[in-house]
Amino acid sequence: HKYVYDFAEGNRDLKDLLGGKGANLAEMTNLGLPVPPGFTITTEACRAYLATGREPDGLADQIAAHLAALEQAMGKRLGDPADPLLVSVRSGAKFSMPGMMETVLNVGLNDRSVAGLAQQADGNQRFAWDSYRRLIQMFGKTVCEVPGEEFEHALDEAKRAKGTTNDLDLDADDLRGLVDAYKKVFRKHTGRDFPQEPREQLDLAVRAVFDSWHAERAVLYRRQERIPADLGTAVNVCAMVFGNLGSDSGTGVAFTRDPASGAQGIYGDYLANAQGEDVVAGIRNTVPLQELERIDKRSYDELLDIMARLERHYLDLCDIEFTIERGKLWMLQTRVGKRTAAAAFVIAGQLVDEGLIDLDEAVHRVTGAQLAQLMFPRFQLDHDIQPVAKGIGASPGAAFGKVVFTSARAVELAGEGEKVILVRRETNPDDLHGMIAAQGILTSRGGKTSHAAVVARGMGKTCVSGADEIEVNVPAKRFTVAGRTVVEGDVVSIDGTTGKVYLGEVPVTPSEVVQYFEGTLDPEATDDALVHAVHRIMTHADQRRRLAVRTNADTGADAARARRFGAQGIGLCRTEHMFLGDRRELVERLILARTDQERENALAALLPLQRADFVDIFREMDGLPVTVRLIDPPLHEFLPPLEQLAVNVAVAQERGEDVAQEEALLAAVRRMHEENPMLGLRGVRLGLVIPGLFAMQVRAITEAAVECARAGVAARPEIMVPLVGAVQELETVRAEAEKIIAEVVGDAGVEVLIGTMIEVPRAALTAGQIAEAAQFFSFGTNDLTQMGWGFSRDDVEGAFFWRYLELGIFGISPFESIDRDGVGRLVRIAAEEGRAARPDLKLGVCGEHGGDPESVHFFHDVGLDYVSCSPFRVPVARLEAARAAI
Ligand code: ADP
Ligand code: MG
Ligand code: MG
């Protein structure tokens, strides 16, 4: 079985097997770009190792064979004392996980080969010892779990002894001393000496990369990014090239376009006389890539040339890592680069203009999640708060919150419902929890490609990096800026677009994209590149999607906004709120009614109020369907809470007041108390038990529609009966409703549909029968999930979902994204059997899932007619429906 591929054997389509890094290294190799030779150990080998706890048979031999070939190609042997071949051992899964997995550079160095390395580098002792100390440090930390700070301390100590803060001031002797110090640290923590045998170093490093798949922060990142937990990582073994050979060497990262805005140009960071890790870690301040032109014009020109080639080849923004070894350029990595949401739209538009992709492809290059981000508010432009610092706008958005300095504190405060901004000198992978919990991230060091910037962009979190006017003091929990001190808990605002930092809370305003959807920003009349791109892509998406998108709206105002956002009707109009506020008293009268007459009076008083609500909504949705759900929640929800009422009655009695009314209410609340209200008297059950309740609602809806029709408004009501589990329930309601509709409509020419929600599993399983009595189904996937799993939606998330997520029982809450296998199967069965019984049955979904990108794709696949979601999610659903269709 083949577990190892030479770089020349792979290609970019083999990401499953070779990981993203390996597949792209192979692609670049085959494009003839200057990639140091090497080979990739497959994800399959990793999976076999993780499953059994040992390397699969044959792997060791295959590695030996490929290593021999590599040695042959390089004319050096791994760790040869006279002229050592050194390699990097690099993780690389199918999906890029920045900083998540571990890489070890300079493998093959030991006490003897360090001398040979120096000799080969024209006697450059400093370089050799620097490389060696890096190996012990990286190997110790990542392979043997030696705490990284111990090495940092030793390094700081060496610099202090030298009276400097700059690594470059350490000479060969200092670094030799540092190697000794590092070895002591290594022995102290591992109980053994640093391994001198090169092949053992290599094998241990490979194994550590495999193991790092299960590292806590890798697990967390995968969960956050919804990356499957069982893919495993590949391992790339790559001949070392050296950026730390002197001032004619260096290392850098670059993007072929600006990953923040999408603008064309040269974007990157360069660091002379350094090895790769230094750039990303933000340890020393880098220079903008443009300066390389001055430093080394030949390499610069070659780099630009390669970048242009890569873009034409990948037809997308690429990011790259490169190293220059004594004036010779080497490519160490490329991939289709991460970008902000805004850049994704702008770049997709540009690539269409450049004729590289078509509009269908452009729709695929952006996501609903990105569009959702662009709809976040941004800071108002006309506030007069002066920024106190300016860093790099590393990941856009506007965020404010209380300052915290540690990941743990961020998690803690966010858990209490506070908005927090995580402030660090620079972030590292251990800060991931805090970054997830925070509204935004502010660092005083590092560029656009620092850890904080890359991870924040990936998460869609606002980030300002490299705000170097800020002096961060983590132990003291404060930072100083412009002569002022900001302590933990103080509020700051950060603008991830401009990089500006403000003290206090800056007011926010709707984004341009929202203004565009609202219709207050004309895409033809603006020069905003983002609005242009969004307009163009959304227009095409609307032409290409099959699923209609409706909205969940209970008021005329919500309906109007959703319509501007592109909603093609209302998929769920809840009538509950129509029973709240001033109307509570009428509901109380209804519930307390002792005679038919009293009840009818209460209903008669509610009727005109409900009718007026519906008129409002029908007007706003003129010509579009409006699905109205008859009252769903248990009635006691409309009454005061039991305890409070009991206290009130007792107090009033004490005072000798007349409490007959309150006592009746209290008795009613007691009578209606349910142990499991969500499984109790609600939905259709309520309609069957309380005479006249549904009838009143049906009448209000129909009368409103007729009133609208008379005024020239095309009302298209669809009456939806909730919580049906058996066709008999629906038939009973339907018989009564049809009579009322026929009577009210008369010759007004209004059509009223009657259908049901499918939200009880039994309804899904008897959908063929139910369809006989229903003109439409709307899947209530919240309840369907609740009852399908037996999860109380209001309780489980806080109680134990964290554990389920931790154990990987599911990767995401089934309330957030539809559970395709279980709840989704119920939907599929109901859709198929419903349609079989009634071919023109209309099918939609009105749970929260209607606005979830993953779920939209599922509903498209199942063949529903529409999804319905909250107004702000409507554009997201439109886009995802097109992405599902193309
Ligand atoms: P990550 O996925 O965290 O970027 P990489 O495997 O790309 O990890 O490696 C970390 C750093 O080491 C990068 O800057 C990379 O360019 C550099 N690097 C990796 N392999 C080599 C090599 N063979 N020679 C020189 N630098 C290397
Ligand atoms: Mg890399
Ligand atoms: Mg429900």
Query: Closest ligand 1 atom to the C-alpha of 322?
Result: 16
Active site residue 846: yes
Strand order across the beta sheet in which 87-93 lies: 4-6, 38-41, 233-239, 87-93, 103-107
Write out 718-775 in H/E/C secondary structure.
EEEECCCCCHHHHHHHHHHHHHHHHHHHCCCCCCCEEEEEECCHHHHHCHHHHHCCCC
Do 741 and 693 share a structural domain?
A: yes
Rounded to the nearest angstrom, the distance between the alpha carbon of 629 and the centre of ligand 3 is 10
Among 321, 322, 454, residue to substitute to test ligand 1 (most atoms within 8 Å of Cβ): 321
Residue of minimum CA distance from atom 13 in ligand 1: 276
In a domain, 526, yes or no: no
Query: Closest ligand 1 atom to the C-alpha of 238?
Result: 23
Q: For residue 495, give both structure tokens.
A: 């603008």
Catalytic-labelled residue, pool 46, 66, 238, 451: 451
- Please report the pLDDT score of residue 227 as a whole number: 84
CB atoms within 10 A of CB 754: 20
Query: How far apart are the C-alpha atoms of 54 and 60, rounded to whole Å?
Result: 11
Series of mean pLDDT values for 10-residue runs along the chain (886 residues): 97 96 97 98 97 95 97 94 95 78 89 96 93 95 92 94 89 96 97 97 95 85 80 96 92 93 89 82 79 96 96 95 96 93 95 96 96 87 87 89 96 94 89 90 85 76 92 94 94 92 90 94 93 97 98 91 96 86 84 90 94 96 97 84 86 86 85 87 94 96 97 97 98 98 95 98 98 98 95 76 77 88 98 98 93 96 96 94 98
Say if strands 462-465 and 491-495 run parallel, antiparallel, or are unpaired.
unpaired
Do 490 and 388 share a structural domain?
A: yes
Query: How far apart are the C-alpha atoms of 240 and 70, rounded to whole Å?
Result: 12
Ligand in nearest proximity to the CA of 779: 3
Rounded to the nearest angstrom, the distance between the alpha carbon of 240 and the centre of ligand 1 is 9
Ligand in nearest proximity to the CA of 321: 1
Query: How far apart are the C-alpha atoms of 361 and 352, rounded to whole Å?
Result: 9
Residue of minimum CA distance from atom 6 in ligand 1: 90
Query: How far apart are the C-alpha atoms of 689 and 634, rounded to whole Å?
Result: 12
Do 705 and 626 share a structural domain?
A: yes
Q: How many angstroms separate the first and last alpha carbons of the chain?
A: 38
What Rg value do the Cα atoms of the chain yield, rounded?
33
Residue of minimum CA distance from atom 12 in ligand 1: 276
- Quick check: 449 and 94 in contact, CB under 8 A? no
Rounded to the nearest angstrom, the distance between the alpha carbon of 759 and the centre of ligand 3 is 6
CATH number of the structural domain spanning residue 277: 3.30.470.20
Residue of minimum CA distance from atom 26 in ligand 1: 276
Query: How far apart are the C-alpha atoms of 493 and 442, rounded to whole Å?
Result: 10
In a domain, 668, yes or no: no
What counts of helices (H) and strands (E) characterise the chain? 37, 33
Domain boundary at 317, 336, 355, which? 336
Query: Closest ligand 1 atom to the C-alpha of 87?
Result: 23
CATH number of the structural domain spanning residue 394: 3.50.30.10
In a domain, 655, yes or no: no
In a domain, 63, yes or no: yes
CATH number of the structural domain spanning residue 29: 3.30.1490.20
Among 78, 90, 106, 127, residue to substitute to test ligand 1 (most atoms within 8 Å of Cβ): 90
Do 297 and 186 share a structural domain?
A: no
Query: How far apart are the C-alpha atoms of 299 and 297, rounded to whole Å?
Result: 6
Ligand in nearest proximity to the CA of 845: 3
Residue of minimum CA distance from atom 18 in ligand 1: 276
- Quick check: 886 and 544 in contact, CB under 8 A? yes
In a domain, 533, yes or no: no
Do 427 and 305 share a structural domain?
A: no
Rounded to the nearest angstrom, the distance between the alpha carbon of 844 and the centre of ligand 1 is 49
Domain interval for residue 719: 545-634+674-885
Give the closest residue to 176 by CA, choosing from 116, 139, 132: 132
Do 118 and 57 share a structural domain?
A: yes
Say if strands 264-272 and 508-509 run parallel, antiparallel, or are unpaired.
unpaired
CB atoms within 10 A of CB 125: 18
Catalytic-labelled residue, pool 846, 849, 857, 869: 846
Angle ∠(706,712,714) on CA atoms, nearest 5: 65
Rounded to the nearest angstrom, the distance between the alpha carbon of 333 and the centre of ligand 2 is 6
CATH number of the structural domain spanning residue 733: 3.20.20.60
What contacts 781, CB < 8 A, 6 or more positions away? 759, 818, 823, 827, 845, 846, 847, 848, 849, 850, 855
Residue of minimum CA distance from atom 3 in ligand 1: 99
Query: Closest ligand 1 atom to the C-alpha of 36?
Result: 23
List pocket residues of ligand 1, CB cut-off 6 Å.
36, 88, 90, 99, 103, 105, 238-241, 275-277, 280, 321, 323, 332-333
- Please report the pLDDT score of residue 280 as a whole number: 63
Please state the length of the chain: 886
Do 611 and 703 share a structural domain?
A: yes
Query: Closest ligand 1 atom to the C-alpha of 99?
Result: 3
Query: How far apart are the C-alpha atoms of 479 and 464, rounded to whole Å?
Result: 15
Ligand 2 (ion): which residues have CB within 5 A?
321, 333
Query: How far apart are the C-alpha atoms of 562 and 569, rounded to whole Å?
Result: 9
Ligand in nearest proximity to the CA of 91: 1
Query: How far apart are the C-alpha atoms of 179 and 173, rounded to whole Å?
Result: 10
Do 269 and 136 share a structural domain?
A: no
Query: How far apart are the C-alpha atoms of 365 and 533, rounded to whole Å?
Result: 12
Rounded to the nearest angstrom, the distance between the alpha carbon of 840 and the centre of ligand 1 is 59
Do 569 and 466 share a structural domain?
A: no
In a domain, 779, yes or no: yes
Do 282 and 233 share a structural domain?
A: no
In a domain, 522, yes or no: no
Rounded to the nearest angstrom, the distance between the alpha carbon of 815 and the centre of ligand 3 is 13
Rounded to the nearest angstrom, the distance between the alpha carbon of 92 and the centre of ligand 2 is 9
- Please report the pLDDT score of residue 564 as a whole number: 95
Do 561 and 437 share a structural domain?
A: no
Ligand in nearest proximity to the CA of 286: 1
Query: Closest ligand 1 atom to the C-alpha of 103?
Result: 6
Domain boundary at 277, 311, 336, which? 336
Rounded to the nearest angstrom, the distance between the alpha carbon of 690 and the centre of ligand 3 is 19
Domain boundary at 488, 509, 530, which? 509
Count of the separate structural domains present in the chain: 4
Residue of minimum CA distance from atom 20 in ligand 1: 88
Do 469 and 561 share a structural domain?
A: no
Active site residue 532: no
Among 278, 323, 335, residue to substitute to test ligand 1 (most atoms within 8 Å of Cβ): 323
Residue of minimum CA distance from atom 15 in ligand 1: 276
In a domain, 649, yes or no: no
Query: Closest ligand 1 atom to the C-alpha of 276?
Result: 14
